[in-house]
Amino acid sequence: MLALKLVLVPSLICAITLAGRQWGPAVAGWLSGFPIVSAPVLFFLAAEQGSRFAATAAGATLSAVPAVLLFVTAYAWLATRAGWRVSLLCSLVAYFAAIALLYLLAPPVYAAAPLVYAVIWVAPRFFPPTAVFPKAPPFRPSELVLRMTAGGALVLAVTYFAADLGARWSGLFAMFPVLGIVLAVFSHRQAGAAFTVHLLRGVVFGFYAFTSFCLLLALALPAMGVGAAFALALGSATFIQWLARNRLRMRIA
């Protein structure tokens, strides 16, 4: 199991990073919204802690989506006015404040899901406008290595401390924006604010699939086996990701 944790997420991050580099910042952000980190975290939680633990964690992960959307939106606005250090620090403060509030509120899945879909729908309208569609910066292997390392470290940390953290904190930490941080900081430093805004706006469109994955997983895990529940959730997420891609194309056009 340890070997799978060390290999699976970094490999997925590598594949999606290279695909994003091929098709531009909006697509890179859209791909990053797919549950390439959270899905393996929840799978390992189900295998090690049981289906009900993972179902509760999946509901908490779903409820944490607005916190990540707050992070990327805040970073996008700050990037137009400040350097990457200030942008990252202030965005993380906003993210942790939102996570703390969500933990206290503990919204049930049936209440959190409609709210999350509504937030995803309106979030692109709150990004700063950009007049040009920027070119991607030159590819740097160090960025790819950092993404892979950060994703693998998150999986190991959450699954290792899951029993102590409990299902809800495990689910919330599974949503920590490790990829969003790396994407935002590298893009900001190498390509400027306009590129960063395009990329982070693309992240929003990936959360339709992410939210659907978490919702179906939270509902299906108590009723069926781990394999069947994950197959259903991932299949639905893939279809919704395709639909979101069409909407993203229309916005780019």
Domain residue limits, the chain: 2-13+25-252
Q: What is the pLDDT of residue 251?
A: 55
Q: What is the mean pLDDT of each run of 10 residues along the chain (253 residues)?
A: 65 68 60 75 89 93 94 94 93 95 90 93 88 61 72 76 85 84 82 84 83 92 89 86 64 52
Q: What is the pLDDT of residue 4?
A: 64
Answer yes or no: pTM beyond 0.85.
no
Other beta carbons less than 10 A from residue 250's beta carbon: 7
Query: Quick one: tokens of 1?
Result: 């199991």
Q: What is the pLDDT of residue 134?
A: 57
